[in-house]
Amino acid sequence: MKVALIGVGQAGGKLAESLASHDLARSSVTGTLAVNTARADLQPLHIDTLLVGEAQVNGHGVGGDNELGARVMDADATEVMEALSGRVTSECDAILLVAGLGGGTGSGGAPVLARELSEVYDIPVYALGVLPGRNEGALYQKNAGRSLKTLAREADSVILVDNDAWRAAGESMDEGFAAVNDRIAQRVGLLLAAGEYEGRDVAAESVVDSSEVINTLREGSLAAIGYASAASSEDAAENLNAVTSVARNALLTGTSLPDATEASSALLVVAGDPDRISRKGVESARSWLGEETGTMQVRGGDMPLDSDRLAALVLLGGVERSPRVREFFERAGAAAEEVERADATESLVSDDLDGLL
């Protein structure tokens, strides 16, 4: 599946860079651009960059103000669209916006760009949205709640990654970002590799195609992905359990949105050496996936890789009814009230101070 990648904000830029560097051998990325209001966040990147909002914030970023982030992106939208035009080629199957939803620039700017891109291009506009972890502050939760509501409306689908999901035990948020970004890039990169396989002589009908990804994502506005891998035997017949257990682990312990197990559609990609993939295992994993997520729409396909391990990548479309999504919106709603109360107190205090001075 060929995509043009657009990173918005700090997390978006770093993730777009990680995704582009994971793609080197696969050629599923037709072009990459990082857009930000903060000059300092663009400087370390090795991909093309565009600074926006200079007139309003002079390269200093928008802080955590996602309303300002949205206004700035709106004002500079024409410039961004021009910079993107050469990267969205006729080969592209989709456009992928990448952003952390808890900050300011990505949170406010990604929904604006999703709207602009959908107006101009006929191909789907997807977003990869990073949700703040549970321990991040109220402003992050509030911002992410607002951003996600708009983004879900403007983009064709938002693939959610919870920042708590793929952090290894003991990794702090900051030191963990590089590792988390790497995991996100590896997994999303595998999804983008669908249909880009050229090489070994395998039964083409079983190889996963980009249309399977697009059709799975069509069934709802929020999506999640899961991944797991395991050692395998050389003989496919001996790998029935290996295939079913990687599929189980991908869904139950390896998803980007923990506990997102209710979906409108699902795609199971089994990656590995075609000679090692147990067809019976794939069949039983697919029917298990349908039962577990409560959907009759389960697609599937293989991704041939030269490896002695087997991996499962699960894509869930339409996860908005999942308990995890409800829990997130409750947290974001409570955080919004908290932020509003704090703002009201602050303005009372400053009114009092004004009266005293």
| Residues placed in the known binding site for GTP | 10-14, 104-106, 136, 163, 181
Considering only residues 249 through 268, tell me which ones interact with ligand GDP, judged by CB under 6 A: none
Q: Which is nearer to ligand GDP, 36 or 265 (CB)?
A: 36
* DSSP string covering 75-87: HTHHHHHHHHHTT
Tell me which stretch binds ligand GDP (CB under 6 A): 118-126, 132-140, 227-235, 294-302: 132-140
Distance CA 18, CA 52 (A): 22
Structure tokens at 197: 């396989």
d(CA 264, CA 199): 33
Residue 214 half-sphere exposure, CB side, CA atoms within 13 Å? 14
| Total interface residues for ligand GDP by CB under 6 A | 21
Residue of 130, 185, 213, 314 interacting with ligand GDP (CB under 6 A):
130
Contact range with ligand GDP by CB under 6 A, out of 6-14, 25-33, 212-220, 229-237? 6-14
Binding part of the chain for ligand GDP, among 10-18, 50-58, 248-256, 339-347 by CB under 6 A, reads 10-18
Residue whose CB is less far from ligand GDP, 31 or 109: 109
Round to whole Å and give the CA distance between 165 and 257.
Answer: 6
Strand partners, 298: 266
Nearest to 121 by CA among 204, 38, 3: 3
132 binds ligand GDP (CB under 6 A): yes
Q: Which is nearer to ligand GDP, 136 or 219 (CB)?
A: 136
Q: Which residues are annotated as part of the binding site?
A: 10-14, 104-106, 136, 163, 181
Q: What track of x and - describes contact with ligand GDP for positions 78 through 117 (by CB under 6 A)?
A: ----------------------x-xxxxxx----------
- Rounded distance between C-alpha atoms, residue 226 and residue 102, angstroms: 22
Looking at 9-17, 46-54, 78-86, 237-245, which segment touches ligand GDP (CB under 6 A)? Answer: 9-17
**CB-based contacts of 62, cutoff 8 Å, min separation 6:** 37, 38, 53, 68, 69, 72, 104, 105, 108
Q: Which two tokens stand for residue 336?
A: 């919004």
Q: Provide the minimum distance between the beta carbon of 111 and ligand GDP in the complex, in angstroms, as a whole number.
A: 12
d(Cα 303, Cα 117) in Å, to the nearest integer? 30
> Of 146-205, which residues contact ligand GDP (CB under 6 A)?
163, 177, 180-181
Q: What is the DSSP string of 97-163?
A: EEEETTSSHHHHHHHHHHHHHHHH-SS-EEEEEEEPPTTS-HHHHHHHHHHHHHHHHHSSEEEEEET
Interface residue with ligand GDP, options 136, 164, 171, 259 (CB under 6 A): 136
Query: Contacting ligand GDP (CB under 6 A), which of 9, 220, 254, 317?
Result: 9
Do 195 and 210 contact (CB within 8 A), yes or no?
Answer: yes
Query: Which positions from 31 to 50 touch ligand GDP by CB under 6 A, shown as an x/- string?
Result: ----------x---------
Longest dimension (CA), the chain: 82
Whichever of 36 and 322 has its CB closer to ligand GDP, that residue is 36
Among 6, 20, 140, 247, interactor with ligand GDP by CB under 6 A: 140
Positions that interact with ligand GDP (CB under 6 A): 9-12, 14, 41, 100, 102-107, 130, 132, 136, 140, 163, 177, 180-181
